[in-house]
Structure 1
Amino acid sequence: MKKIILSLILGIMLLPMSVKADEGMWFLMFIERLNHRDMEKMGLQLTSEEIYSINHHSLKDAIVQFNGGCTAELISKDGLVLTNHHCGYDAVAELSTAAKNLLKDGYWAESRKEEKKPSSLYVRFFVRMDDVSKRILSKVNDKMTELEREKAVNQEIALIEKENNEGGKYTVSVRPFFQGNEYYYFVYQDYKDVRLVGVPPESLGKFGGDTDNWEWPRHTADFSMFRIYADKNGNPADYSENNVPLIPKHYLPVNLGGVKEGDFAMILGYPGRTNRWMPAGGIEQNVKFSYPAWVEGAKTGMDNMKKYMNQSDALRLVYASKFASTANYWKNRQGMIDALTKFGTAKSKAGQEAKFDKWANKKENKAKYGNVIKNINKFYSLTNEKARHDNYLQQLFRTTAFGTSGRTIGKQLDNYVKADAVKRITMAPAITEMVDEMFKELYLPAEKDLLAAQLNLYATKSKGYAIAPMVDKIGKETNYDFTKYVNAALELSILTSKERIKAFLDLPSQGLLDNDPLYALSNDMISHLNSKSDEIAKAQNDYGASFRLLVEGLRESKIGTIKYPDANSTLRLTYGKVRALPADKRNDAKINNYTTMDGMVKKYKKGDEEFDLPVRLIDLNKSKNYGRFADKDGSMHVNFLTDNDITGGNSGSPVLNGKGELIGLAFDGNIEAMAGDVIFDPKLQRTINVDIRYVLWVIENFSGAKHVVDEMTLVK
Structure 2
Amino acid sequence: MKKMFKILLMVFMVLPLSANEGMWFLMHIERLNYVDMQKMGLQLTPEEIYNINNYSLKDAIVQFGGGCTAEIISKNGLVLTNHHCGYGQIAELSTEENDYLTNGFWAKDYSEELKPANLSVRFFVRMDDVTERILSLVNEGMTELEREKIINQEIAKIQKENDEGGKYTVSVRPFYSGNEYYYFVYQDYTDVRLVGTPPNSIGKFGGDTDNWEWPRHTGDFSLFRVYGDAEGNPAAYSQDNVPVQVKYHLPVSMKGYEENDFSMILGYPGRTNRWMPSAGIDQNVKYAYPAWVEGSKTSMDAMKKHMEQNQQVNLDYASKYASIANYWKNRQGMIDALTQHKTAEAKRAKEEEFVKWINSKDKKLGGKTGQAERIKNYGNVMDAINNYYEQTNVKSKDDNYLVSVLRGSNMITLPNRLSRMMSEVMESDAMDEVAFDEKIQPQIDNLYAKLYMPLERDVFIETLSLYANKASNPIESLVKMKDSGSDIKMQLGQLFDASILSSKEKLSQFAKNPDRDAYISDPLIQLSNELFTAYRYESDELKVLGEQYQKGFRNMIKGMREMNPDVTYYPDANSTLRLTYGTVRPLPLGAKPNDAAVNYFTTLKGTVAKYVPGDEEFDMPQRLIDLYNNKDFGPYADKMGHLPVNFLTDHDITGGNSGSPVLNAKGELIGLAFDGNIEAMAGDVIFDEQLQRTISVDIRYVLFIIDKYAGAKHIVDELTLVN
**What's the CA shift for 1:518?**
1.2
Q: 1:24 aligns with which of 22, 25, 50?
A: 22
Residue 605 (structure 1) aligned with residue 608 (structure 2): no
Q: 2:417 aligns with which of 404, 409, 412?
A: 409
**What's the CA shift for 1:403?**
2.0
Secondary structure of 2:586's aligned partner:
coil
Residue 266 (structure 1) aligned with residue 264 (structure 2): yes
> Retained in 2: the 8 A contact 1:414–1:510?
no
> Retained in 2: the 8 A contact 1:265–1:578?
yes
Q: 1:691 aligns with which of 682, 695, 698?
A: 698
**Per-residue Cα deviation, 1:54-103 (whole angstroms, up to 9, x for no partner):** 11111100000000000000000111100000000000000000121100
Moved more, 119-128 or 146-155: 146-155
Q: How does 1:179-194 map to 2 (within 5 A)?
A: 179-194=177-192
Residue 74 (structure 1) aligned with residue 81 (structure 2): no
**What's the CA shift for 1:635?**
0.8
- Paired with 2:552 and 2:490, the residues of 1 have a C-alpha distance of 47
Show the counterpart of 1:661.
Answer: 668
Residue 513 (structure 1) aligned with residue 522 (structure 2): no
**Per-residue Cα deviation, 1:102-150 (whole angstroms, up to 9, x for no partner):** 0000010111111111011110000111111122223323233223322
| Closer, same or farther: CA 112–381 of 1 in aligned 2, 3 Å | same
One-letter amino acid of the counterpart of residue 211, structure 1: T
Moved more, 413-422 or 565-574: 413-422
**What's the CA shift for 1:431?**
7.3
TM-score normalised to structure 1 length: 0.94
- Paired with 1:609 and 1:266, the residues of 2 have a C-alpha distance of 34
One-letter amino acid of the counterpart of residue 439, structure 1: Y
Secondary structure of 2:332's aligned partner:
helix
**Per-residue Cα deviation, 1:150-193 (whole angstroms, up to 9, x for no partner):** 22222222222122111211111111100011111111101111
Show the counterpart of 1:379.
Answer: 388
Q: How does 1:354-393 map to 2 (within 5 A)?
A: 354-361=352-359, 362-393=371-402
Show the counterpart of 1:543.
Answer: 549
Secondary structure of 2:599's aligned partner:
coil
Q: How does 1:7-156 map to 2 (within 5 A)?
A: 20-156=18-154
Q: How does 1:241-280 map to 2 (within 5 A)?
A: 241-280=239-278
| Closer, same or farther: CA 478–99 of 1 in aligned 2, 3 Å | farther
Q: How does 1:609-628 map to 2 (within 5 A)?
A: 609-628=616-635
Q: How many residues align?
A: 697
One-letter amino acid of the counterpart of residue 412, structure 1: R
Task: Quote the sequence identity (%).
Answer: 59
**Per-residue Cα deviation, 1:641-661 (whole angstroms, up to 9, x for no partner):** 000000000000000011110
Residue 176 (structure 1) aligned with residue 170 (structure 2): no
Moved more, 43-52 or 362-371: 362-371
Moved more, 576-585 or 703-712: 576-585
Q: 1:229 aligns with which of 203, 227, 232?
A: 227
Show the counterpart of 1:531.
Answer: 537
Q: How does 1:156-167 map to 2 (within 5 A)?
A: 156-167=154-165
**What's the CA shift for 1:447?**
1.0
Show the counterpart of 1:396.
Answer: 405
- Paired with 1:554 and 1:450, the residues of 2 have a C-alpha distance of 46
**What's the CA shift for 1:413?**
4.6
| Closer, same or farther: CA 17–608 of 1 in aligned 2, 3 Å | closer
- Paired with 2:609 and 2:150, the residues of 1 have a C-alpha distance of 60
Residue 474 (structure 1) aligned with residue 481 (structure 2): yes
- Paired with 2:169 and 2:522, the residues of 1 have a C-alpha distance of 39
- Unpaired segments ≥5 residues, structure 1: 1-15
**What's the CA shift for 1:495?**
3.0
Show the counterpart of 1:567.
Answer: 573
> Retained in 2: the 8 A contact 1:355–1:559?
no
One-letter amino acid of the counterpart of residue 594, structure 2: N
> Retained in 2: the 8 A contact 1:17–1:34?
no
Q: 1:580 aligns with which of 586, 602, 614?
A: 586
- Paired with 1:549 and 1:293, the residues of 2 have a C-alpha distance of 30
Moved more, 311-320 or 397-406: 397-406
| Closer, same or farther: CA 215–590 of 1 in aligned 2, 3 Å | same
> Retained in 1: the 8 A contact 2:268–2:575?
yes
> Retained in 2: the 8 A contact 1:554–1:560?
no
TM-score normalised to structure 2 length: 0.93
**What's the CA shift for 1:459?**
1.0
- Paired with 1:432 and 1:655, the residues of 2 have a C-alpha distance of 48
**What's the CA shift for 1:503?**
5.3
- Paired with 1:432 and 1:659, the residues of 2 have a C-alpha distance of 56
> Retained in 2: the 8 A contact 1:410–1:519?
no
Secondary structure of 1:187's aligned partner:
strand
**What's the CA shift for 1:440?**
2.8
> What do you get for the CA RMSD once the two structures are aligned?
2.3
One-letter amino acid of the counterpart of residue 700, structure 2: R
Secondary structure of 1:198's aligned partner:
strand
| Closer, same or farther: CA 267–431 of 1 in aligned 2, 3 Å | farther
**What's the CA shift for 1:410?**
4.3
Q: How does 1:345-356 map to 2 (within 5 A)?
A: 345-356=343-354
- Paired with 2:687 and 2:441, the residues of 1 have a C-alpha distance of 48
- Paired with 1:274 and 1:707, the residues of 2 have a C-alpha distance of 40
**What's the CA shift for 1:475?**
2.5
Moved more, 136-145 or 675-684: 136-145
Show the counterpart of 1:462.
Answer: 471
